[in-house]
Copies of this chain bind each other. A is one copy, B any other.
Amino acid sequence: MSNEFIRQEMNVTGEGFLPGLAIDAVIFGFHDAQLKVLLLAYKNTGFFALPGGFIYNNEDVNEAARRVLFSRTGLTDIFLEQFYVFGDKSRHDVAPLKTIMKARGYEPGDNHWLLGRFVSVGYYALVDFTKAIPTPDSISDSCDWYGLDELPVLMQDHRQIVDKALQTLQANLDHKLIGFNLLSESFTMGDLQCMYETILNKKLIRAAFQRKMLSLGILERIAKKWTGGAHKAPYLYRFKAQTPDNVIIDP
């Protein structure tokens, strides 16, 4: 289910799209020690939802995910990864979809393709939210960042999708760190620790954290950050150059 679905409301049979399949994207942004998620608000309904979309007949599923990410943020070259297929029959719930369509003055028939059962492939992405340009489309009021602690009620099973994406992010943090686009090109160990603490939602011990990070072998020390007081200047680091498996490079 997605923001795109009303654009398809006149396409009663879903011609041109893979039947019964959607993607939903949990786009995390990290900034100022906060982890946020990009949400759309539907006009005249009070509904909030994840960005998402459908897959064209002649499009790869991963391509559709990149297209959605680009449409909603203007970003390409971003870490974007499948994390789970939401395929329970219980997620089939036509009520909110009918409400959204009716709020636009459209009265769908019961066999409208958007009212059928959909399986959704969940993707998560990580971006520096100063670089994203959140972009609503013609049928949403807004596309905006919401702190994880202050999410509005989300339609259908989108809250579960966010929670599962967060668990995946937390579990994969060490493993996928280098592919994440959450930090500037260079950063201090303190910046990195702050990001970890925010994502894991707990305090970490500085010495142990530094030891662990250095043992991962993915950091390169580049210079001391000039702070005026030389004896306290922290080192700057950057990630060693390499392309991790899961970064989807081509837009």
Contact = CB atoms under 8 A, between A and B. Distances in A.
A60 B87 contact: yes
Contacts of A20: 18-21
A85 B121 contact: yes
Contacts of A121: 85, 87
Contact-residue bracket for chain A: 20 to 34
Interface in A19-72: 19-21, 55, 57-62
A85 B85 contact: yes
Contacts of A59: 89
B61 A119 contact: yes
A163 B47 CA distance: 41
Interface string A187-201: 000000000000000
A235 B171 CA distance: 31
Given A21-B119, A55-B119, A57-B117, 10 more contacts: A18-B20, A55-B87, A57-B89, A60-B88, A60-B89, A61-B85, A61-B87, A61-B119, A82-B84, A85-B85
